[in-house]
Amino acid sequence: MLCLTLTGSTLEENRNLVEQNRAWISLAELRLDHLNADEQKIASSFPSTVDLPIILTFRRKSDGGACTLSEKERLQILYETAKGDFAYVDIEEDVKKSDLKFKDPLFEQKVDLERSLRDRGVRIIRSLHDFTCVPADIYGRISKLASKGDIPKVAVTPKSMMDIISLFRVQSELSAIQDKILIGMGDFGICTRLLYKKCGSMLTFCSDTEAALGHLSARVMSELYRADKVDEKTHVFGIIGNPVYHTASPKIHNPGFEAIHYNAIYVPFLVDSVRAFFKLAEMLQIHGFSVTVPHKRNVQPYLGRITREVKQIGACNTVTRVQNMWKGTNTDYYGFLAPIAQEISHELIRTALVIGAGGASRAVVWALHNHGVKVTILNRSLEKARHLADETMSNYDTLENCNLYSNSVDLVVQTTSVGMEPLCDEDPVPTFAFSGSEIVYELVYQPKETPFFKRATQAGCRVIGGSEMLFEQGKLQFEAFSGYHYPHWINPDI
User: 211-244: string of b/e by CB count within 10 Å (b at 16+)?
Assistant: bbbbbbbbbebbebbbbbebeeebbbbbbbbbeb
d(CA 39, CA 322) in angstroms, rounded, equals: 58
pLDDT tens readout for residues 441-494: 999 998 899 999 999 999 999 999 999 999 999 999 999 999 999 999 999 988
CATH number, span 2-230: 3.20.20.70
Catalytic residue among 153, 197, 296, 475: 296
Superfamily per CATH, domain 338-470: NAD(P)-binding Rossmann-like Domain (3.40.50.720)
CA-nearest of 178, 226, 213 to 63 is 213
Q: Where are the domains of the chain?
A: 2-230, 241-333+472-482, 338-470
Q: What is the CA radius of gyration of the chain?
A: 27
Q: Do the Cβ atoms of 268 and 277 come closer than 8 Å? A: no
Domains 241-333+472-482 and 338-470 are alike in CATH topology: yes
| Complete DSSP assignment for 320-376 | EEETTEEEEE-HHHHHHHGGGHHHHHTT---EEEEE--SHHHHHHHHHHHHTT-EEE
Q: Tell me how far apart the 2 most distant CA atoms of the chain are, in Å.
A: 94
Q: How far apart are CA 149 and CA 305, in angstroms?
A: 50
**pLDDT tens track for 304-327:** 999 999 999 999 999 999 988 999
Residue 296 annotated among the catalytic residues of the structure: yes
Q: What is the architecture of the domain spanning 241-333+472-482?
A: 3-Layer(aba) Sandwich (3.40)
Of the candidates 356, 389, 350, the one whose C-alpha atom is nearest the C-alpha of residue 371 is 350
Tens-binned pLDDT, residue by residue, of the chain (494 aa): 999 999 999 999 999 999 999 999 999 999 999 999 999 999 999 999 999 999 999 999 999 999 999 999 999 999 999 999 999 999 999 998 888 888 877 776 788 899 999 999 999 999 999 999 999 999 999 999 999 889 999 999 999 999 999 999 999 999 999 999 999 999 999 999 999 999 999 999 999 887 676 789 999 999 999 999 999 999 999 999 999 998 999 999 999 999 999 999 999 999 999 999 999 999 999 999 999 989 999 999 999 999 999 999 999 999 999 988 999 999 999 999 999 999 999 999 999 999 999 888 999 999 999 999 999 999 999 999 999 999 999 999 999 999 999 999 999 999 999 998 888 899 999 999 999 999 999 999 988 999 999 999 999 999 999 999 999 999 999 999 999 999 999 999 88
| Count of C-beta atoms within a 10 Å radius of residue 44 | 16
